[in-house]
Structure 1
Amino acid sequence: MSETIIITVISSSISVISTLLGAFVTQAFNIRNENLKEKKARQKENLEIKRENLYSIYKKLIQVISLFPRQTPLDVLRYMEYSPNYYSENFDIINNILDIQIEDYKKRLSNPKLDYKLEAEYEIEIHNREYYKKEIIYIRDSYFKAKNEYEKFIRNEKIDFELYAGDEVKNKLVIFEVLVHNAFVAGRHLENENGDTNQLDKVRWQLINSIRNDLGIQ
Structure 2
Amino acid sequence: MSDKIIVALISAGGVILGAIISAIIGLLNARIEKNRRKNEVLEKGFEVKREQLGEIYEELLSILNTFPKVSPTDILKNIEFPPCYSMESFESVIEILNYQINDGKEKLDSEMVSQKEKRDIKSDIEKRKYCIEQIKKNQEDYFKAKEAFCLFKQSDKMIIDMYAGQSVRNCLVEFEVVLHNAFISGHSVGDAYDSSKNLIEVTRNKIVNAIRNDIGTIR
| TM-score when normalising by structure 2 | 0.79
Residue pair 2:63, 2:145 contacting (<8 A) in 1 also: yes
1:211 is matched with which residue? 211
Structure 1 partner of 2:141:
142
Identify the residue that residue 119 of structure 1 maps to in structure 2: 118
Match of 1:49 in 2: 48
Distance 1:65 1:174 in 2: 13
TM-score (norm 1): 0.79
How many Å separate the matches in 2 of 1:117 and 1:44? Answer: 71
- The 3 A distance-change label for structure 1 pair 119 and 160 is same
Query: What residue number does 2:4 align with?
Result: none
Shift in Å, 1:115: 2.2
Q: What's the counterpart of residue 164 of structure 2?
A: 165
Unaligned runs of 5+ in 1: 1-25
When residues 79 and 36 of structure 1 are mapped into structure 2, their CA distance, relative to the original with a 3 A threshold, is closer
For residues 42 and 76 of structure 1, the distance between their equivalents in structure 2, rounded to whole angstroms, comes to 50
Task: Give the structure 1 partner of residue 76 of structure 2.
Answer: 77
> 1:180 — aligned with what?
179
Distance apart, 1:116 and its partner CA: 1.1
SS in 2 for 1:131: helix
Larger deviation, residues 134-143 vs 47-56: 47-56
Query: Quick one: structure 1 residues 213 and 120, their matched pair in 2 at CA, closer, same or farther if it must change by over 3 Å?
Result: same
Corresponding residue number in structure 2 for 1:4: none
How is 1:80-95 mapped onto 2 (pairs within 5 angstroms)? 80-95=79-94
Contact 2:71 2:138 in 1 (8 A): yes
Q: CA 1:34–1:114 in 2, change beyond 3 Å: closer, same or farther?
A: closer
The residue number in structure 2 matching 1:199 is 199
C-alpha distance 116-59 of structure 1, shift in aligned 2 (>3 A): same
C-alpha distance in 1 between matches for 2:128 and 2:46: 53
Cα separation, partners in 2 of 1:31 and 1:124, compared to 1, 3 Å: closer
Unaligned runs of 5+ in 2: 1-25
- Per-residue CA distance 1:139-183 (angstroms, 9 max, x = gap): 100100010000010011011111110000000110000110111
Following the alignment from structure 2 to structure 1, what is the Cα–Cα distance between the partners of residues 106 and 113? 11
Change (3 A) 1:31 1:125: closer
Instruction: Name the Cα RMSD after superposition.
Output: 2.4
Q: CA deviation at 1:51?
A: 0.8
Give the drift of 1:35: 8.2
Instruction: Give the structure with higher Rg (CA).
Output: 1
- 1:152 maps to a residue whose letter is L
**CA–CA separation in structure 1 for the residues paired with 2:185 and 2:91:** 16
Mapped to 2, the partners of 1:199 and 1:38 lie a distance apart of 40
